[in-house]
């Protein structure tokens, strides 16, 4: 049964991790990390991302302006840029390594030990990618909550709220960690007992002997 479900689990892990990586890249460039609704003008919604701030108007659509300076950003946004880039890079490397380690891939069929290590490293990279995607969105969410409930800010001042990109980032991190866990579970299920190894070797030797006797004149 393990031999039947192992390719399915590997393929499921790759697909879930691929979904998480795509969502992580999408989170990096979405401008909706923070939303701001103005009570004085309900027709405008301000949004802030890692790269630009936008204003959404009911009649004029969306207008965005890129941030002029990296150093002028708040600390959570600066660190979030770096972590999201690291998450995207490690996720891409994990996809490449684990892709070459799949059992359904015909390349390297006789190098099962090397393919096993590729799956292991790929799963670990997915874990790292997932964690580094969850950390920045959680940090921005935490700072948003602190600013929202800050008693030193007057009540008339508009408060930033959670943006859609935060939820996409949390989902991306969960998918990456789940995909890496599925791949590592397949590695644990590939442990072969010594008795089965001896049986397979003996069967192969018998087949070789029968082939030799049949080919003799």
Please write the tens of the pLDDT for every residue from 41-88: 567 788 899 999 888 877 767 888 888 888 888 888 899 999 999 999
Flag whether 24 is in a domain.
Answer: yes
Flag whether 173 is in a domain.
Answer: yes
Flag whether 103 is in a domain.
Answer: yes
Mean pLDDT, residues 85-97 taken together: 94
CA-based Rg of the chain, rounded to a whole angstrom?
A: 26
Task: Please choose, from the candidates 214, 213, 13, the residue with its C-alpha nearest in 3D space to the C-alpha of residue 99.
Answer: 13
Predicted TM-score of the model (pTM): 0.79
Strand order in the sheet with 34-37: 61-66, 52-57, 44-48, 34-37, 161-162
What number of other Cβ atoms are within 10 A of residue 168's Cβ? 19
Please write the tens of the pLDDT for every residue from 167-216: 999 999 999 999 999 988 887 765 444 444 344 434 444 544 553 455 45
Answer whether residue 28 shows pLDDT above 80. Answer: yes
Q: Which CATH number goes with the domain that contains 81?
A: 1.20.140.150
Could you tell me which residues are beta bridge partners of residue 167? none
Residue 111 is predicted with a pLDDT of 65
Burial class (CB in 10 A: 0-12, 13-18, 19+), 163: buried
Flag whether 38 is in a domain.
Answer: no
Flag whether 59 is in a domain.
Answer: no
Flag whether 28 is in a domain.
Answer: yes
Residue 190 is predicted with a pLDDT of 52
Flag whether 170 is in a domain.
Answer: yes
Total domain count, the chain: 1
Higher pLDDT, 161 or 212: 161
Structural domain of 173: 1-32+74-190
Residue 69 is predicted with a pLDDT of 84
User: What are the two backbone dihedrals, phi and then psi, of residue 65, each rounded to the nearest 5 degrees?
Assistant: -135, 125
């Amino acid at each position: 049964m393990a031999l039947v479900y192992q390719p399915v689990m590997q393929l499921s892990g790759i697909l879930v991790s691929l979904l998480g990586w795509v969502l992580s890249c999408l989170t990096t460039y979405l401008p909706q990390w923070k939303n701001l609704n103005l009570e004085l003008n309900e027709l405008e919604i301000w949004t802030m991302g890692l790269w630009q701030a936008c204003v959404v108007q009911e009649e004029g659509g969306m207008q965005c302006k890129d941030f002029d300076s990296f150093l002028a950003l708040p600390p959570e946004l600066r660190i979030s840029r770096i972590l999201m880039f690291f998450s995207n890079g490690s996720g891409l490397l994990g996809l490449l390594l684990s892709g070459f380690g799949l059992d359904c891939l015909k390349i390297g069929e006789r190098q099962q030990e090397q393919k096993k290590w590729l799956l292991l490293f790929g799963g670990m990279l997915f874990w790292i990618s997932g964690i580094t995607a969850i950390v920045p969105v959680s940090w921005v969410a935490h700072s948003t909550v602190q600013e929202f409930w800050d008693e030193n800010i007057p009540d008339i001042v508009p408060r930033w709220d959670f943006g859609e990109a935060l939820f996409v980032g949390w989902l991306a991190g969960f998918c990456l960690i789940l995909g890496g866990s599925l791949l590592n579970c397949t590695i644990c299920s590939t442990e072969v007992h010594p008795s089965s190894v001896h049986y397979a070797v003996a069967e192969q030797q018998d087949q070789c002997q029968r082939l030799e006797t049949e080919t003799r004149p």
